[in-house]
Amino acid sequence: MSLSPNRKVFITCAVTGAGATTERSDKVPVTPRQIADSCIEAAQAGAAVAHIHVRDPETGAPARDPALYAEVVAHIRESGVDMVINLTAGMGGDLTLGSTEQPLPPAEDGTDMCGATERLAHVKQILPEICTLDCGTMNFGEGDYIMTNSPGMLKAMAAQIQALGVRPEIEAFDTGHILLAKWLQSQGLIDNPAMIQLCMGIPWGAPDDMSTFMAMVNAVPEDWTFSAFSIGRNQLPYVAMAVNAGGNVRVGLEDNIWLKKGVLATNADLVTRARTIIEGMGSELMTAAEVREQMQLTKRWG
């Protein structure tokens, strides 16, 4: 990929995620209304895309109930604020082994495995412009949790996403995941224009050092649109890195809860800071309408 700074940049805000961040920050949205309001505030601050997970409104635990997604999206659409909706399809691939001495059966706590059709039930119901496709299996964090996405599962999911007319956002956590995504496209399962999110710094995926990041960027095909982020304290520095490498930007409380040391952020705070960095570099923000045009997204509402 030829590298030059991106002068027209879109921001994706990942507003809540599935991690235990609610235990560390009261600013992480939990209920459908809170998640929707956080998306709207992020859009008003400059985000063109909202990447959405849902949580159990009572416990804050990660959830994949289509009714919760539908409630979030309905609130956003009713608000009149325009933004591209990007729903996660990563839930349902969570495997936690029983123990190091007796891995099977899997532990009930932390295991949530289901088939391709069930993983995409909310996407079929809501028909967002984008949904994610996590292109790989990997150890994730400490303990015995494995994020599982086999080639067979990904082929089945990619085919269903394609049939629905939804654009997949490929999520790549390591270089091999990009190769797997290219293979899916070679099978006719990912249409152009293709989009990919480079997910850096997650243990034990690609570390977020410069050389690894550039290896990831260089593995992305020339005609794909890419975005990139890192987690924790490197989220905001990665705004500049992504733009300089020719990409787009993701920020949000899914990946980082801090605005600066000792100061908890809101999603709007993180988008505002990202906007300041992007515009300070001489680049412009893209609107939701411009993202839809560039990525040939289908808006089915409004």
Residue 96, SS3 per DSSP = strand
Which of 94, 22, 85, 95 lies closest to 52, judged by CA?
85
Query: Given this model, what pLDDT does residue 3 score?
Result: 74
**pLDDT of residue 141 exceeding 90:** no
Q: Which residue matches tokens 């100061």?
A: 263
Confidence of residue 21 (pLDDT cuts 50, 70, 90): very high
Per-domain boundaries in the chain: 8-295
Which of 34, 36, 86, 78 lies closest to 60, judged by CA?
34
pTM of the predicted structure, to 2 decimals:
0.96
What span, in angstroms and rounded, lies between the C-alpha atoms of 203 and 193?
29
Q: What is the mean pLDDT of residues 10-32?
A: 96
Query: Given this model, what pLDDT does residue 48 score?
Result: 98
Q: Which residues contact residue 143 at a Cβ distance below 8 angstroms, ignoring those fewer than 6 apart? A: 96
**pLDDT of residue 82 exceeding 70:** yes
What span, in angstroms and rounded, lies between the C-alpha atoms of 36 and 33?
5
Q: What is the mean pLDDT of residues 59-87?
A: 97
Residues 66 and 118: beta-carbon distance below 8 Å: no
**Class for domain 8-295, per CATH?**
alpha beta
pLDDT in tens, 152-199: 999 999 999 999 999 999 999 999 999 999 999 999 999 999 999 999
Q: Which residue matches tokens 């990919």?
A: 196
pLDDT in tens, 208-220: 999 999 999 999 9
Query: Given this model, what pLDDT does residue 302 score?
Result: 64
**pLDDT of residue 2 exceeding 60:** no
Q: What is the mean pLDDT of residues 74-79?
A: 96
**pLDDT of residue 67 exceeding 90:** yes
Structure token pair of residue 131: 């949904």
Query: Given this model, what pLDDT does residue 1 score?
Result: 55
pLDDT in tens, 23-43: 999 999 999 999 999 999 999
Specify the range with the lowest mean pLDDT, choosing from 57-61, 137-141, 230-234: 137-141
pLDDT in tens, 48-65: 999 999 999 999 999 999
CA 227 and chain centroid, separation: 10
Query: Given this model, what pLDDT does residue 301 score?
Result: 78
pLDDT in tens, 257-291: 999 999 999 999 999 999 999 999 999 999 999 99
Specify the range with the lowest mean pLDDT, choosing from 2-16, 73-87, 229-243: 2-16
Q: What is the mean pLDDT of residues 73-83?
A: 96
Average pLDDT in the chain: 96
Structure token pair of residue 172: 């790549």
What span, in angstroms and rounded, lies between the C-alpha atoms of 150 and 172?
14
